[in-house]
Homo-oligomer: A and B are copies of this chain.
Amino acid sequence: MRIALDVHGGDIGASRNIAAAVQTRADPTIELILVGRRQEIEAELKKRSTAAERFEIVHADEKIGMDESAVQSVRRKTDNSISVGMELVKRGDADAFVSAGHSGAVVAAALLTLGRIPGVSRPALGTRIPATTRGKVAFALDIGAVIDPKPEMLLQFGYLGTAYVSAVLGVANPTVALISNGEETSKGNALVRAARDLFEATDLNYIGYVEGRDMLHNPPNVTVTDGFTGNIGLKVAEGTAAALSDVIRRELTAHWHSKLLALLLRPTFGRIRDQLDFEGIGGAPLLGVNGVVIVAHGRSTPRALVNAIRTAQHAAEVDLPSLLQGAIPVPLADADAGSEPISSVAPVGK
């Protein structure tokens, strides 16, 4: 499986991406294509005493910074590492593309280069949620690609999520819910209430509203939300888990005796970490474009990037774009999909 990796993606940049690449090198099923500035890539590989010949390098001269405008930077910097990676997928030179870069730029470049699957109005970013119920598969979308969606788009997300979770994550007839400010059907903002009516009229395994507190504790298989709420909800969960870990670490290392006890509890804390592991979830698939594109967190560690690469591999193995092709019933599909100009579909601000 040939997977292109955006070497300049993420808040840290080349070093973490190359570290992740080196970690996957032992796996013969993955051929990585490193996309970015050749000199930087070779320098990073040299630091790790890894011969550059062991990876394919595709030079891209420009980087898109995390604070640049998504659409403008993709258009102006034609030779940027994100767009070059997408081109590899489009031409069939890569089976998938992974980037921890500017998620808005990734979505814009994917739309511009790969285009949408017929019937999809806007592609959505989905992610696995680490559920505390053992073995439970929880997936949420959109987490940031479509900030002000229409109700019909939320319904499309429901179909895309259902197809992904059943085909890629192996859950038959997954449960689908809308996240809302209460479980009663009367709750919800105008968007969610309109979407609720649409979901109720489908053959999706729609189970109603779920609340924020269910997100980790008792989640449905597919949680559907707009990109604004999804982004905030996910980051609140990440931030709360990180804050709690910080407090635990600070308290446990405050005294020599608690430090000693913490040392003895290390395996236990390891298991705790594994159960609420945002790094292990393996990047966010961009659902609804003609190709396998995985967006990794901008703060990804090498371990998180390796997991994103494995997600990309798996999605390419099952041929995700073909699977999603028929996911949305014809009457609900957006007839204009694929024909809109990039400027009107650009999803993330700036």
Footprint of B on A, CB under 8 Å?
A: 67, 69, 132, 144, 147-148, 179-182, 184, 186-190, 192, 211-217, 226-229, 231-244, 246-248, 251-252, 254, 257-258, 261-262, 264-265, 268-269, 271-272, 275-276, 348-350
Contact = CB atoms under 8 A, between A and B. Distances in A.
In the complex, the 10 A-B pairs of residues with the closest C-beta atoms, listed nearest first = A212-B235, A213-B239, A186-B350, A186-B349, A181-B231, A212-B236, A240-B240, A212-B232, A213-B235, A189-B228
Nearest to A189: B228
A122 B17 CA distance: 49
A268 B258 contact: yes
A276 B258 contact: no
Most buried by B among A238, A248, A254, A349: A349
A276 B243 contact: yes
A246 B232 CA distance: 23
A248 B232 contact: no
A138 to B, nearest CB: 11
A89 B236 CA distance: 36
B211 A232 contact: yes
A215 B240 contact: yes
Chain copies in the assembled complex: 2
A213 B188 contact: no
Contacts of A189: 147-148, 226, 228
Contact of A229 (B229, B252, B257, B268): B229
Nearest to A69: B186
Contacts of A192: 228
A276 to B, nearest CB: 6
27 contacts: A67-B184, A132-B244, A132-B247, A144-B181, A179-B232, A181-B232, A182-B349, A186-B350, A187-B350, A189-B226, A192-B228, A214-B239, A215-B236, A216-B243, A236-B240, A240-B240, A240-B276, A244-B276, A247-B272, A248-B272, A251-B268, A251-B269, A251-B271, A254-B268, A258-B268, A261-B261, A265-B265
Contact of A232 (B144, B229, B240): B229
Contacts of A132: 243-244, 246-247
A187 to B, nearest CB: 5
Contacts of A214: 239
Nearest to A230: B181
A36 B205 CA distance: 42
B233 A212 contact: yes
Contacts of A148: 189-190
A261 B262 CA distance: 8
A127 to B, nearest CB: 14
A212 B144 CA distance: 12
Most buried by B among A144, A236, A252, A268: A236
A271 B216 CA distance: 24
A235 B211 contact: yes
A173 B240 CA distance: 26
A91 B244 CA distance: 45
Contacts of A215: 236, 239-240
A237 B148 CA distance: 23
Nearest to A179: B232
